[in-house]
Amino acid sequence: MNIEVLKSKIHRVKITQAELHYVGSITIDEDLMDAANFIEGEKVQIVNVNNGERLETYVIRGERGSGMVCMNGPAARKVQVGDIVIIISYASMPIEEAKQFQPTIIFPDQNNRLIY
């Protein structure tokens, strides 16, 4: 039997853009993607700290070093520029493997930059 567990998380990142008239997804700075172990096209859950909204979408690679976190398409109505969100991905694995698994969690600064 497999269970879903936390794979990766960007904890408390700021929305920099909201583009309603776009195909869909969330665009994330490639530096943040790499640090959080996200890949382009990966399904993610977005939790908006400001208004409690929770939604699912997929990741699009944003310009490296830009700090961009842009909610695209209809989901843009669920955020405001400046909102703080948590971006989460999950993985399915056998229970015994899940007991040993260590998720990747990053905590960017207020400008969506990595803290080293």
pLDDT at 114 over 90: yes
Whether 11 is in a domain gets the answer yes
Q: Tell me the pLDDT tens digit for each residue of 14-37.
A: 999 999 999 889 999 999 999 999
116 is catalytic: no
The 3-state secondary structure of 16-71 reads CEEECCCCCEEEEEHHHHHHHCCCCCCEEEEEECCCCCEEEEEEEEECCCCCCEEE
Q: Percent of the chain beyond pLDDT 90? A: 96
CA 95 to chain centre: 25
pLDDT at 8: 98
Token reading at 50: 């400001």
pLDDT at 23: 82
Region 81-89 average pLDDT: 98
Which residue is catalytic, options 25, 66, 92, 116? 25
25 is catalytic: yes
CATH number of the domain bearing residue 11: 2.40.40.20
Which residue is it, tokens 């698994």? 101
Q: Tell me the pLDDT tens digit for each residue of 57-69.
A: 999 999 999 999 9
The answer to whether 6 touches 99, Cβ cutoff 8 Å, is no
What is the Cα–Cα distance from 17 to 68, expressed in whole angstroms?
7
Whether 113 is in a domain gets the answer no
Enclosing domain of residue 21: 2-106
Query: What are the Cα distances from residue 115, in Å, to 30, 54, 69, 109?
Result: 15, 26, 17, 6
Region 98-110 average pLDDT: 98
Coil vs helix vs strand at 111: coil
pLDDT at 86: 98
- How many distinct structural domains can be found in the chain? 1
pLDDT at 115: 85
Whether 111 is in a domain gets the answer no
Which residue is catalytic, options 58, 90, 92, 116? 58
Average pLDDT value over all residues in the chain:
97
